[in-house]
């Protein structure tokens, strides 16, 4: 552990201890200690101080010509012995935002990402989509190109690139995804803008915010207003109206076949035991649909698997709580007389242009508080009807478990390398506290079934759909949990999307050892599957021609080794699997990032030359 901390350059242990002094007094005392209250400082300095005062501990940065005032402020801090926020250099902006996303997913605390004008903003790419869809709080800052040409102000344009980076609407690059955006136009209110941005990012539903400032503004001088931080807190979580809870409780407690469907309720780890208690006392089946986190212990007899569609024909009461898509109508929809309740911070999914779920009640509330409200209405012990429902649900759950076990047992007997056999092997090797990141995409459900997690905070995924999040995301999670084993399971396509040279450079530079397991099936299976679904007897299927074949030709471990001195192995035979995974885990325990590539069955026999 000491070696790991040394490599982190103090990131895990050197943050200043925060006293029990009230937040507003802390803010004023901080500025007084450094002799700056009443003195002139740049807007760049004010922004850095405001982020630190607000509790931001890490800057994930890809600095550019717009950031001299920020860099100067950080350098001055280091000269004075102030070592926070920690600065994490990120060779690619996608890695930076993904890492901040991962850190926020674990801690709930927003971190800052600094990128360069329009081009750095564009390089954030799908990471902004991921942060928005996953509702994680992140503060993203980008400079604007200078707005003076002739040296009129400090920070004026001094390079041809300053002209080329002048675009009509830089905010428009990210506007569909950020929760709020604003341009700081003067140093006078820079701290207020930072605090408002963080307040909005953290208030439910949480999300990324985007703040800009031109170089002239960042160089402008002003004084610190000494703001009281407790006046910039996020909005408190809201319970449900009591009448709505009464209706929901009555429906659940009198139903014949009640089902709860969730995707991310477990983001609040305290909510998991409350959901278990509710399910046990009322005899309710719980389904984790496209689980982003661990919401309900997989070994619990009331766990109904990951597919809600198989239960919809019988379900007479459905509670969709903390899930964006509880079912897919084109696959199956609830029966006409089913009572449907939607519980969410945003039950109407207002950021999704086309979305609807016909429901009896839409309840805008914090899911954890709703569970507590329902728990207060529950009997201390399940009644006879609840016990009967629980027995029936447990029988169904045991049948599912037997089916899944039979799949992995058949792979083991056949000595086959499959996503199921890889996940099963990992399950035998990982302890209950290990954190699994599942971005296996088309094989994500298989990994989820055969690598079960039973403790809150031991599973993370990406609710967005921009692939590659797990690269930087795993590093942010490791940074937030330095003493935990972190294992990321990805497909070969996902690995490419993750900006791997940037990912493993960061891992090596800052001592963030993660085991990455690549399920290499030689291409984009999700694309192929959709062709097969829509054109099952079409020309593409007949010719085995999909233009998705990556041919299992890349040396993924070699990429990681070249960028970040990672250890790597490639598994081509079943007999090699256990040993490679064990060594990979030993390497990360010793502080070295590791990549184990497993060559599973290729999705197509067609080579790219023949598919032109």
pLDDT digits (tens, 9 = 90+) for 52-104: 999 999 999 999 999 999 999 999 999 999 999 999 999 999 999 999 999 99
| Mean pLDDT, residues 562-566 taken together | 98
Quickly count: other Cβ atoms within 10 Å of residue 418's Cβ: 23
DSSP 233-245: PPPPP-PPPHHHH
For residue 12, is pLDDT > 80? no
Mean of the per-residue pLDDT values for the chain?
92
User: What is the percent of the chain with per-residue pLDDT over 90, rounded to a whole number?
Assistant: 87
- Domain presence at residue 403: no
pLDDT tens for residues 154-168?
Answer: 999 999 999 999 999
Q: What is the pLDDT of residue 543?
A: 86
| Mean pLDDT, residues 474-482 taken together | 98
Q: What is the pLDDT of residue 316?
A: 97
Range name among 11-15, 177-181, 243-247 with the lowest pLDDT average: 11-15
Shared-domain flag, residues 254 and 381: yes
Q: What is the pLDDT of residue 612?
A: 56
pLDDT tens for residues 456-474?
Answer: 999 999 999 999 999 999 9
pLDDT tens for residues 218-229?
Answer: 999 999 999 999
- Domain presence at residue 608: no
Shared-domain flag, residues 99 and 202: yes
Shared-domain flag, residues 168 and 252: no
- Domain presence at residue 391: yes
Measured over the CA atoms of residue 90, residue 95, residue 99 and residue 100, the dihedral's sign is positive
Whole-number Å distance between alpha carbons of 476 and 41: 32
Shared-domain flag, residues 83 and 8: yes
3-state DSSP: the chain helix, strand, coil percent, rounded to 5? 45, 15, 40
| Mean pLDDT, residues 350-371 taken together | 97
Measured over the CA atoms of residue 104, residue 110, residue 111 and residue 115, the dihedral's sign is positive
Whole-Å CA distances, 466 to 13, 125, 376, 485, 492: 33, 8, 40, 25, 14
Q: What is the CATH number of the domain that holds 460?
A: 3.40.50.970
For residue 8, is pLDDT > 90? no
Q: What is the pLDDT of residue 307?
A: 97
Shared-domain flag, residues 472 and 564: yes
- Domain presence at residue 477: yes
| Mean pLDDT, residues 28-38 taken together | 42
DSSP 545-573: --S-B-TT---HHHHHHHHH--EEEEE-S
Whole-number Å distance between alpha carbons of 152 and 147: 10
| Mean pLDDT, residues 132-159 taken together | 97
Final residue before a domain boundary, out of 187, 205, 232: 232
Q: Are 100 and 46 in contact (CB under 8 A)?
A: no
Q: How far is CA 284 from the centre of its chain?
A: 28
Range name among 15-29, 78-92, 130-144, 404-418 with the lowest pLDDT average: 15-29
Q: Binning pLDDT at 50, 70 and 90, where does residue 544 land? A: confident
Final residue before a domain boundary, out of 232, 265, 288: 232
126 φ, ψ (degrees, to nearest 5): -70, -10
- Domain presence at residue 248: yes
Exposure b/e, 551-575, CB count within 10 A at least 16 = b: ebebebbebbbebbebbbbbbeebe
Shared-domain flag, residues 507 and 529: yes
- Write the CB contacts of 454 (distance below 8 Å, at least 6 apart in sequence): 294, 297, 298, 299, 300, 432
- Domain presence at residue 130: yes
| Mean pLDDT, residues 118-141 taken together | 98
User: Could you list the residue range(s) of the whole structural domain that residue 552 is in?
Assistant: 414-599
- Domain presence at residue 216: yes
Quickly count: other Cβ atoms within 10 Å of residue 424's Cβ: 22
CA-based diameter of the chain, in Å?
Answer: 83
Final residue before a domain boundary, out of 211, 232, 253: 232
Q: What is the pLDDT of residue 606?
A: 73
Q: What is the pLDDT of residue 14?
A: 34
CA atoms in the 13 A half-sphere facing the CB of 385: 9
Whole-number Å distance between alpha carbons of 423 and 401: 15
Q: What is the pLDDT of residue 75?
A: 98
Shared-domain flag, residues 345 and 308: yes
CA atoms in the 13 A half-sphere facing the CB of 592: 16
Q: Binning pLDDT at 50, 70 and 90, where does residue 356 land? A: very high
Shared-domain flag, residues 537 and 419: yes
pLDDT tens for residues 231-261?
Answer: 999 999 999 999 999 999 999 999 999 999 9
Q: What is the pLDDT of residue 610?
A: 52
Whole-number Å distance between alpha carbons of 54 and 551: 49
Residue with more model confidence, 13 or 335? 335
Q: What is the CATH number of the domain that holds 332?
A: 3.40.50.1220
Shared-domain flag, residues 386 and 427: no
- Domain presence at residue 571: yes
Q: How many domains, in total, are found in the chain?
A: 3
Shared-domain flag, residues 304 and 439: no
Q: What is the pLDDT of residue 604?
A: 83
Shared-domain flag, residues 454 and 561: yes
H/E stretch holding 487 reads strand 486-491
């Amino acid at each position: 552990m000491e070696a790991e901390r040394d490599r982190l350059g103090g990131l895990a242990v050197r943050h200043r201890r925060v006293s029990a002094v009230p937040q507003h007094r802390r803010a004023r005392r901080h500025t007084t200690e450094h002799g700056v209250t009443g003195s002139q400082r740049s807007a760049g300095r004010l922004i850095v101080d405001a982020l630190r005062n607000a509790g931001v501990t890490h800057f994930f940065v890809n600095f550019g010509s717009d950031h001299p005032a920020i860099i100067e402020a950080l350098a001055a801090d280091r000269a004075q012995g102030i070592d926070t926020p920690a600065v994490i250099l990120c060779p690619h902006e996608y890695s930076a935002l993904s890492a901040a996303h991962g850190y926020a997913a674990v801690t709930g605390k927003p971190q800052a990402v600094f990128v360069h004008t329009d081009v750095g903003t564009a390089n954030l790419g799908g990471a902004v989509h991921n942060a928005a869809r996953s509702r994680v709080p992140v503060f993203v800052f980008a400079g604007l190109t200078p707005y003076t040409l002739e040296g009129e102000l400090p920070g004026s344009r001094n390079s041809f690139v300053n002209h080329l980076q002048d675009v009509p609407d830089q905010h428009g690059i990210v506007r569909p995804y950020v929760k709020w955006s604003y341009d700081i136009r003067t140093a006078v209110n820079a701290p207020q803008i930072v605090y408002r941005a963080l307040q909005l990012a953290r208030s439910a539903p949480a999300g990324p915010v985007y703040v800009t400032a031109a170089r002239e503004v960042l160089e402008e001088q002003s004084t610190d207003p000494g703001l009281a931080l407790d006046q910039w807190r996020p909005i408190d979580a809201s319970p449900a109206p009591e009448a709505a809870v009464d209706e929901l409780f009555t429906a659940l407690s009198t139903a014949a076949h009640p089902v709860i469907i969730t995707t991310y309720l477990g983001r609040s780890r305290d909510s998991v035991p409350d959901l278990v208690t509710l399910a046990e006392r009322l005899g309710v089946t719980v389904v984790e649909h496209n689980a982003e986190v661990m919401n309900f212990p997989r070994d619990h007899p009331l766990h109904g698997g990951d597919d809600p569609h198989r239960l919809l024909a019988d379900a007479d009461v459905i509670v969709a709580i903390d899930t964006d898509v509880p079912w897919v109508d084109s696959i199956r929809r609830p029966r006409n007389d089913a009572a449907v309740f939607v519980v969410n911070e945003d039950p109407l999914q207002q950021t999704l242009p086309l979305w609807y779920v016909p429901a009896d009640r839409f309840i805008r509330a914090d899911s954890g508080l709703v569970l507590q409200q329902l728990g207060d209405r529950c009997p201390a012990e399940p009644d006879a009807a609840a016990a009967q429902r629980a027995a029936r649900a447990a029988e169904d759950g045991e049948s599912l478990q037997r089916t899944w076990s039979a799949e992995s047992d058949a792979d083991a007997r056949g000595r086959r390398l499959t996503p199921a056999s890889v996940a099963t092997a990992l399950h035998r090797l990982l302890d209950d506290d290990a954190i699994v990141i599942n971005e296996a995409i088309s094989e994500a459900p298989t990994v989820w079934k055969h690598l079960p997690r039973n403790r809150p905070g031991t599973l993370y995924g990406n609710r967005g759909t921009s692939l590659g999040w797990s690269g930087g995301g795993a590093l942010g999670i490791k940074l937030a949990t330095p003493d935990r084993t972190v294992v990321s399971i990805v497909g070969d396509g996902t690995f490419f999307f993750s900006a791997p040279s940037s990912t493993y450079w960061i891992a090596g530079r800052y001592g963030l050892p993660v085991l990455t397991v690549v399920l290499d099936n030689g291409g984009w299976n999700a694309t192929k599957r959709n062709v097969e679904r829509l054109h099952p007897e079409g020309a593409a299927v007949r010719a085995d021609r999909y233009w998705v074949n990556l041919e299992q030709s890349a040396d993924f471990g070699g990429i990681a080794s070249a960028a970040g001195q990672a250890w790597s192995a490639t598994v081509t035979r079943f007999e090699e699997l256990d040993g490679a995974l064990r060594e990979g885990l030993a390497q990360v325990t010793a502080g070295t990032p590791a990549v184990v590539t497993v060559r599973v069955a290729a999705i197509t026999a067609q080579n790219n030359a023949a598919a032109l």
